[in-house]
Structure 1
C-alpha cells in the first residue's frame, strides 16, 4: 500500500500540467483602441458589414457624410494597379482577394477612423487637422 501511494503521487506530479511559458513583453502588449494608422491603408479593400465577422477585420471605419469631419478622404479607383497611395482604394467584391478588410460601423464612437468619398484623386489621403 505504501508503494502504491508513492507511485500514484509520482504519476500525479508527472502528469500535472506544466506552468505556462512566460509571454514576451512585445507580444503581450495589445494595441490600444484607435491606434490603427489610416495613412498606411491603400490597395484592395473589402468593406464588411456583418457584425459577426467584426473580429476578423483589420480596422473599424465610419463613413462620414461630411468631408470636413472625415479623417481620410477616399478615392474609389477602378484598377487595383493604380491604388498605390494612401486614400486610393480599389474595392473588391470578395474578402479573399482584399489587402485589407474593414468593418463599417454606424456608430462614430466605435470607429478607429472615419472616411469620406471624394471624386478627385489628388484630394485622397489623410487629412491633417
Structure 2
C-alpha cells in the first residue's frame, strides 16, 4: 500500500519531463475592454435596483438629448422584430431577457448612453 502511494507520488512529480519555460506563472488576462453598445439588441430588461448591479451585463445612462447618446434605441412591440442594433424589446421580467442592463443616473458611471427614438430608421449606433 505504501509502495503504491510512493510510486504514484513519484510519477505525479515526473522528474523526467522537460521543465516549463516559466514555472508557476498564471496566464496573463486580457485587458478589460469597454462594452460595445452596437452589439446589444433583442429582449432587454432595465434594472434599477443598485443591489443587483453586479448581475447586469452593462450599465447605461438614459440621455435626455439625442445628440450626446451613443446608441439610439427604438422600442419594439414584438420580440421577433428586435433583431438589429438599437432595436430593443423591453421585457417585464429579467428571466426572459437576452440582456439585463443597469440604469444609472450618473453619466460617469455608465458604460454607454442611450436615448429613445420614435422612428425605426434612426435607431442604431452612432459613428464617432
* Runs of 5+ consecutive residues of structure 1 not aligned to the other structure: 1-20
Q: CA deviation at 1:29?
A: 3.3
Root-mean-square deviation (CA, aligned residues, Å) is 1.3
1:77-108 Cα distance to aligned partner (Å, 9 max, x none): 00000000000000000000000000000000
Aligned to 2:106: 107
Aligned to 2:42: 43
Aligned to 1:63: 62
* Runs of 5+ consecutive residues of structure 2 not aligned to the other structure: 1-23
1:44-90 Cα distance to aligned partner (Å, 9 max, x none): 00000000000110000000000001000000000000000000000
Equivalences, count = 105
The DSSP-based 3-state class of the residue aligned with 1:29 is: coil
The answer to whether the aligner puts 1:31 opposite 2:29 as a matched pair is no
The DSSP-based 3-state class of the residue aligned with 1:54 is: helix
Normalising by the residue count of structure 1, what TM-score does the alignment of the two structures yield?
0.77
The answer to whether the aligner puts 1:84 opposite 2:83 as a matched pair is yes
Q: Distance in 2 between matches of 1:120 and 1:70?
A: 16
Q: Distance in 2 between matches of 1:45 and 1:84?
A: 12
The DSSP-based 3-state class of the residue aligned with 2:52 is: helix
Q: Which runs of 4+ in 1 moved over 6 A?
A: none
Q: CA deviation at 1:128?
A: 1.2
Normalising by the residue count of structure 2, what TM-score does the alignment of the two structures yield?
0.78
Q: Distance in 2 between matches of 1:23 and 1:83?
A: 41
Aligned to 2:10: none
